[in-house]
Amino acid sequence: MLAKRIIPCLDVKDGRTVKGVNFLELRDAGDPVELGAFYAQNGADELCFLDISATLEQRKTFASLVKEIAQHVNIPFTVGGGINGIEQVGVLLESGADKITVNSASVKNPQLVNDLARQFGSQCVVVAIDTKWVNNQWHVFIHGGTQPTPLLTTDWAKQVQELGAGEILLTSMNHDGTKNGFALEITRQISLSVSIPVIASGGAGTMVHFKDVFTQGMADAALAASIFHFKEIEINDLKNYLRQNKIPMR
């Protein structure tokens, strides 16, 4: 088993970190730069910063904030939100980001994934997939989870791998913010369907949930937000617990 990663996620809206439940009911969780620096110093393997209103409000992602983050954070970090072209990605990577994540734009224009992978390398292209259980199937949603698509999640995951994605960030909308555990079945299904790393997101509430998503869900990394932002679980404590349960950690 390869070493697993713990990734705090900072959803950013209007320059502040926010957290909601099922993509709704947002509440303030602090300054993203300060939080990111804290996590970098306290056991996080990577960070993910998502400008959650960028696609909905037709805004470009926050290059100036990325520069500031890069000055205060010494671990790899991914940024996303409203990215739809090579030029934007170039600016973000030059500003200090290690990886970028695309979601809605990749569904509308799958060739974008291929273009980005060829221009910048697969290792820095993460495709985010927001999925929801609808009519007994897992479907892909876009535009911050507000718009359903006919795409089945496993089919889309296979396609983005073929297009050159280096990683998949899989978020279950049904589990997001509930703290009832990750979506183990679809996470395992995707992990078995692709050979690239799968980051599980949505539903973390206890240390056991992380153990389950790494063992039953077969995820390569686990992403969480509120339990870290509101100090419900300390990352170093979590990693020690996982090591005690024979899960190799970074």
Catalytic residue numbers read: 11, 130
Asked if residues 173 and 131 have their Cβ atoms less than 8 Å apart, the reply is: yes
Task: Please tell me the distance from the alpha carbon of residue 157 to that of residue 129, in angstroms, as a whole number.
Answer: 8
Q: Tally the C-alpha atoms within 13 A of residue 19's C-alpha that lie toward its C-beta.
A: 21
- Exposure of 250 by Cβ count < 10 A (0-12 exposed, 13-18 middle, 19+ buried)? middle
74 to each of 21, 41, 64, 178, 248, how far by Cα in Å? 30, 8, 17, 30, 22
Task: Please tell me the distance from the alpha carbon of residue 151 to that of residue 162, in angstroms, as a whole number.
Answer: 16
Asked if residues 79 and 49 have their Cβ atoms less than 8 Å apart, the reply is: yes
The H-or-E segment that residue 29 falls in is strand 24-30
Task: Please tell me the distance from the alpha carbon of residue 162 to that of residue 156, in angstroms, as a whole number.
Answer: 10
